[in-house]
Amino acid sequence: MDALLILGGLLLILAGLVWLVMRAFATSLLWGWGSLLPPLTLLYVLRHWRFARAPLSLAGLGFIPLIVGMTLLASQDSQRLEAILSLQWLKPAEQPPAELAIALNGELYGRPFAPQQGELIDGVLSLREGQDFFAQSELLIRLPQTVKGPLRLDVLPGDEGVLPEIEISWLLPEQELPEARRLSRGYTLHLDLQPQAPNRLAGDFHLVLPPQFKTSLSGKVELFSDGLRYKGGKVNRQIDSVDTLRYVIEDYLQRRFVTRQVQLQPFAAVSFPAERLELRVQVLIDGQQQAVDMQLKKSLNRGWAVEGDSFASLPELPEPVLAASTSKPARGEVVAAPPERVSRPLDRRIRFSLDALLRSPSRYHNLSMRVATERGNTAAGRFQGVDQDGRIMLRQRLSGQGEVSYSLRPEEVVRIELLEP
């Protein structure tokens, strides 16, 4: 209501001033041009009060709703009124500092490309420009396999075999949905990325697509390697991501059971944004399988946390022993037993096939997969199970808070790959 009163008052004042200028032009051309200058406007009002009285009365009426609206605004939100009167809204908004140091030169499909977001998660490298659900421009590079640690890759136009798949997409102002192009060979790609603490990859990037794609990019990139974000050297629990929830849950279980031997199993998919979540997680605690029910809540101060968490922090790990002593222990001296050898987890990529997936879908739940269909389309994401109609369900998390789901019939699948153990 206060905003409508202020706006209505300003419109009445503006209408009165425009009417006054029109009256001045009707008097004479000289008075008309002179009334555009405030001192001469006042002189015209004094010399020709009979013509200026009605426009001034209309402008004066506009001050009534203007003053009433500003009074209501001051009683409800004085800081907003102060910001309006100080003309802070005229100042350009300060851009927050960029999280990633990305410096690329070139263009994507004939348009300048300046990405603000970059990730390399589950074998998919993404560079994204724009903060909306659909990116203004986006580059995806789907690697043949998930990479942990440094990455060096060189691809030439004549190379054959299993190569990364390139996808570019862009959204024009007059379009509602983005356009996309894909290719799997015939391009030049150079990647030389080195890990940087705590969860980043940085290095050289060079990509040249065939001439019809009008895409050539070269420079330095910096990418996130997971969904965690850090603030002041600690995990920022305000971020809505599955990796943030995994970190919060593992930290809670370690302190609750007083052990660092906690291995969290993939849990049910969650949707963001959310303020409260109820989860039942399967976890290996000191080698024993357990199911734990918990409620997570997001607060303004702490971010995501488990409700009822009052457990103390674990003691710091002791310093590692650099060199083992070769001398025999003295009589009566207690010798520490050597640490148990941790067995390697089973690699489920071995003997993986479409039939194996359909026989035991729970065995591959929430694992990253890539599926190629008989129509030549490719879908990548985390396996969510098989629905009642026998369709394979995949879900892919996009940059930001969005996600996309795929539903595929087994008979239209020509190739399926499991991308992680």
> What is the per-residue DSSP string for 55-96?
HHHHHHHHHHHHHHHHHHHHHH-HHHHHHHHTTGGGSPPPPP
CA-CA distance, 407 to 320, in Å (whole number)? 49
Region 96-124: mean pLDDT is 89
pTM of the predicted model, to two decimals? 0.56
Instruction: State whether 214 and 294 are in the same domain.
Output: no
CATH number of residue 252's parent domain? 3.10.450
- Per-residue pLDDT band for 342 (boundaries 50, 70, 90) equals very low
The torsion angles phi and psi of 31, rounded to 5 degrees, stand at -65, -35
Each residue's pLDDT tens digit, 259-291: 888 999 888 888 888 889 998 899 998 888 888
User: Which tokens in the block code for residue 273?
Assistant: 């944004």
* Residue 260 is assigned to a structural domain of this protein: yes
> Between 217 and 44, where is the model more confident?
217
pLDDT digits (tens, 9 = 90+) for 151-162: 999 999 999 989
pLDDT of amino acid 36:
83
State how far the Cα of 345 lies from the Cα of 378, in Å rounded to an integer: 29
Confirm whether 8 is domain-assigned: yes
Mean pLDDT of the chain: 83
As given in the structure block, the two tokens for residue 124 are 């998919």
pLDDT on residue 421: 67
Q: How many CB atoms lie within 10 A of CB 291?
A: 9
* pLDDT for position 90: 63
Contact 106, 206 (CB under 8 A): no
Q: Do residues 397 and 368 touch, judged by C-beta distance below 8 A?
A: no
Percent of residues, the chain, with pLDDT higher than 70: 88
Locate 330 and state its tokens.
């003295």
pLDDT at 343: 45
| pLDDT tens readout for residues 217-231 | 999 999 999 989 998
Number of separate domains in the chain:
4
User: Which of left, alpha, beta for 366 (phi over 0: left; psi -120 to 50: alpha)?
Assistant: left
- Single out the residue in 90, 111, 137 at which a domain terminates: 90
Q: For position 379, which CATH number holds?
A: 2.30.30.100
Q: Which tokens in the block code for residue 404? A: 């996309």
In 280-390, alpha helices (H): 354-359
Same domain, 107 and 218: yes
Tell me how many helices (H) and strands (E) the chain has: 7, 22
Residue with tokens 């997409």: 169
The model's confidence at residue 334, banded by pLDDT at 50, 70 and 90, is very low
Q: Report yes or no on 33 lying in a domain.
A: yes
Q: Per residue in 66-93, pLDDT tens?
A: 888 888 878 877 777 777 777 665 666 5
The pLDDT value given to residue 93: 57
Instruction: Write out the two tokens for 40.
Output: 């001469």
| DSSP label of 88 | G
Query: Do 174 and 262 share a structural domain?
Result: no
Task: Using the predicted structure, report yes or no on whether residue 232 has a pLDDT greater than 90.
Answer: no
CA angle (266, 227, 164) in 5-degree steps? 90
Structural domain contains residue 62? yes
Which of 190, 100, 199, 102 lies closest to 148, judged by CA?
A: 199
Q: How many CB atoms lie within 10 A of CB 221?
A: 22
The mean pLDDT of 247-253, rounded to a whole number, is 92
Distance CA 221, CA 191 (A): 10
Q: Compute the distance between CA of residue 17 and CA of residue 96 in angstroms, rounded to an integer.
A: 41
Q: Which of 29-33, 94-98, 118-122 has the lowest mean pLDDT?
A: 94-98
Lowest-pLDDT range, 27-41, 182-196, 278-292?
Answer: 27-41
Secondary structure element (H or E) that encloses residue 242, with its range: helix 242-257
Same domain, 209 and 122: yes
Is 336 within a domain? no
Q: Using CA atoms, how far apart are residues 153 and 189, in angstroms rounded to an integer?
A: 7
Residues contacting 135, CB < 8 A, separation 6+: 128, 129, 169, 171, 178, 399
Same domain? 80 vs 122: no
pLDDT in tens, 171-187: 888 888 889 999 999 99
Domain membership flag for residue 107: yes
Tokens at residue 361, please?
Answer: 């879908």
Listed range (68-72, 260-264, 316-320, 347-351) with the worst mean pLDDT? 316-320
How far is Cα of residue 143 from the mean position of the Cα atoms in its chain? 21
Sign of CA dihedral 157, 169, 406, 381: positive
Spatial distance between the Cα atoms of 44 and 274, rounded to a whole number of angstroms: 63
Looking at residue 340, its pLDDT comes to 47
d(CA 162, CA 185): 9
Span 233-250, mean pLDDT? 91
> Which range marks the domain in which residue 295 is found?
235-306
Query: What pLDDT score was predicted for residue 341?
Result: 47
* Mean pLDDT of the 326-333 span: 50
Position 400 confidence tier, pLDDT thresholds 50, 70, 90: low
Per-state percent for the chain, helix, strand, coil, to nearest 5: 25, 30, 40
Cα 352 to Cα 140: distance, rounded to the nearest angstrom:
26
Q: What is the pLDDT of residue 104?
A: 93
Higher-confidence residue: 272 or 192? 192
Domain shared by 248 and 207, yes or no: no
* 90, 111, 144 - which closes a domain: 90
Q: Choose between 270 and 351: higher pLDDT.
A: 270
Considering only CA atoms, give the Rg of the chain. 32
Q: Is the pLDDT of residue 325 over 50?
A: no
Residues 207 and 166 in one domain: yes
Backbone angles phi, psi at 157, to 5 degrees: -55, -30
Which of 149, 157, 247, 261 is closest to 203 using CA atoms? 149
